[in-house]
Structure 1
Amino acid sequence: MATVTATSNTMVAELWRECAAWLTRCNIIPNDHRANHLDSDIKVLATILRDGVLLCNLANFFDPSSFDRKDFNRKPQMAHFLCIQNIKLFLEACKTNFGLKEADLFEPTMLYDLTNFHR
């Protein structure tokens, strides 16, 4: 059982590191960001995504018309309502503009509360 857990943890670590590298290639986070450091962990990536700003920047990177920019708050300062609003904008863009299914997405509170981040 311990081997399965270790393998699962390794796979999750590889996935979030690839995610951080991909965000870097898309110019969403800088190459020298902490999320790209070898000693970094998944919480670093989760924390920088939890206000929804980088996610909205990512949606805008792929499709500048993916959401109404007036609804996007660039500096939510971790205000729950504003962060959730940004995350919802991103998720709606994922469904409407990028064809993802609701079942493949997470709930906004999962990211904000940093629960089930692996999803």
Structure 2
Amino acid sequence: MKTVDPVSVEIMQQVAEYFSVLSEPTRLRILSVLRNGERCVQDLVEATATSQANVSKHLKVMLQAGILSRRTEGTSAYYSVQDDLTFELCNLVCDRLASRIELQARRFRAFGLTSGQVLKRSV
């Protein structure tokens, strides 16, 4: 059996921090808007229906994590996703959640059919 080298604490910390950046709903909404390409801060404020201060705070976090890139044009700042792998990761998670929800829905339907049959018999 092949032994696996233990991963350093520092690497684990970096991975955990990356996932924590993606664990905030407002940040996911921002990423969803940026899926269609670069946007200025005002576009992101309008699309997410939140304050400019809040959007700016989340943009800063994602920029520092290396998820976003930023460019300025005049007095406007434009943001885009630096790595499309971010979208692949989100797609994988969404597909997994959809599969779980579909399975749960099938179980509810099966339970409903079973319960319905029991009720008909007792009437």
TM-score after normalising by structure 2: 0.28
Structure number with higher relative contact order (C-alpha < 8 Å, ≥ 6 residues apart): 1
**Which structure's residues are more often strand, by fraction?**
2
